[in-house]
Chains A and B, each alone.
Chain A
Amino acid sequence: MKLNTLTAVLLAVGVLSTSAQAQSSRDTIQIAGSSTVLPFSSVVAEEFGNNFAQFRTPVVGSGGSSGGLRQFCQGVGANTIDIANSSRKIRPNEVEACKANGVKDIIEVKIGYDGIVFASRTDAAVFKLEPLHVFLAQAAQVPQNGHMVTNPYTRWNQIDKSLPDQEILLAIPGSNHGTREVYEEKAVIPGCKSLAEVKAMDKDAAHKFCTAMRTDGKVVEIAGDYTETLARLQAQKDAIGVFGLSFYEANRDRIKVATMSGVEPNQDTIISGEYPVSRPLFIYVKGAHIGVIPGLQEYAQFHVSDTMSGFGSVLESAGLIPLADDERAEIQQAIASKKSL
């Protein structure tokens, strides 16, 4: 009996390891990363599977831009992902990390733009925000009478008379999200730098001062996706959440957006650049996997094809803001020639 159990266990292990070897080549594209890009990538993956009978439907995971890029840079091989979705540009230190692990060919594909909106419940007050308001609401320290003091603001109308008399409660994306970086770069930092006191600082000190966040519970970091932010708004009437434009558009009956510098966020104002808080979205393709994982290059090309992400395309109706036609042509060219970073 003792022997039988042992042989059974050994057999099981044997079967597993042989199947593991059989599985070391993979025929399904694996994607992971930004939860902002995920809905778009999923749509493309599904259409790709439906339109190309010879390829399998790619699998799209989440984990945030940083999480996706970290997985992407783990190395080359069937048990690493092929594409990282990112709602921000890859950072130089990430490229270094990639190279250190043997991921040398990284093809950057810009797929379109997305706006970031500040939204509150439909039954809450109307907000007309400026970048400076956002900074003053979330900063650890603010200048007052020439001194830096701990952020004293608890209500919006203390920041600016034009804002509603409502408690400050800001739900912002956690640092694992690419959205966070854009939120800081396009709203917080410009607002901060408009202060005379900050202009006087040197560059590093200014950056440190601008991104320091208050820790008294008025600002909440949301590590999950936008539904978690929405749940926060539903629980607390006063909360203002940071969302992607496409998420807001799917839930217009529940939330309303604040204007930024007097501009209402929508497709047109983002394309024209009038609405300031917008960012490009990227997918990063592992060059070494092209030709190994079937359909990888075709998927990337399909992603930026006219039918998928041009004007009037599937992704546009899903909320993506398309690239201009000539920019898209350039990117298609880059994929075809496997132009690496």
Chain B
Amino acid sequence: MDVNVVDVRHVSRRFGGHVALDDVSFSVARGEILGVIGRSGAGKSSLLRCLGALDRPDAGQILIEGQDITTLPQAGLVALRRRIGFVFQHFNLLSSRTVAGNISLPLEIAGVPRADRPQRIAELLALVGLSAHGDKWPSQLSGGQKQRVGIARALANDPALLLCDEATSALDPETTTAILDLLAEINRELGLTIILITHEMDVIRRIATHLVVLDQGRIVENAPTLAIMGAATQSAVTQALLSETQPQVPPALRARLVAEPAPDGWAIIRIQLAGEAAWQPLLSLLGQQYGVEATVLQGGTTEIAGQPFADQIVSVTGYCAEIHDFLTQFDPSLKVLGHVPADH
């Protein structure tokens, strides 16, 4: 199916004089994981409320599976919301219901017969790894377990789209990884389209295949995650968001950087390799072929959007045009950040 699950077209939303969303357009293909990132006040929450049909934009269209939700009457909205699963930052589980009861609620709302519910609840509990916890109360669970219940509940009615609102922001790093892995697994196995809204670049770049960067209600970046990570032309906002998770030149060295190459000194370069190239023993090759020394100062190889991705700050002795040409075969966007003169 090549139809987009979500099409946002020229959406604007104002609150009094404040522009929360300004001519926002993007689309999400089926099975994609879209990350929407921005600082607080960038318009993420407004966008989320519009996507979830909790709020109507002042202008523009939002199509979910081809259906314009901005013009739907109330009755249509109620049906549509059952096609969208929501995962919340603070879980929003009912304390008056058990884990199984919480997962049962969307089924009850959708009118699933009482007799059919237990089996579906058991399937969902198994999917999120909580089969043994159905009879517990939410207050007896850890944060990560609560979010698993939140995810199971969001999946109850086989939604076309999963909207995650800062779903890992209230969790510790280890639990965040586990929840992201679960979301990636659900995406793979069920082919479910997911939109992740967050302010944490680190969260999003691991599993999001596409990124939308919002700033002051406008989209400043909209591209595949890998392309944004490697792009030479990033907006200031994107750079600021990325800098939290990207390797930097160590401060002590940064103070000694000069623009011109110095004899006997080193060049400091930034190299990014996506996909299989990330596994190349590039620095060893450099040593063998040119007899220079290359050292990784910062960075390493991680996974972005499910692919290996190397992002490193490297120092190279005797840097010259041939070495530069050799390296740019692998990373066309390679940047020479400066040179460090020899110590004496």
The answer to whether A and B come from one shared complex is: no
Give the interface of A toward B (CB within 8 A): none
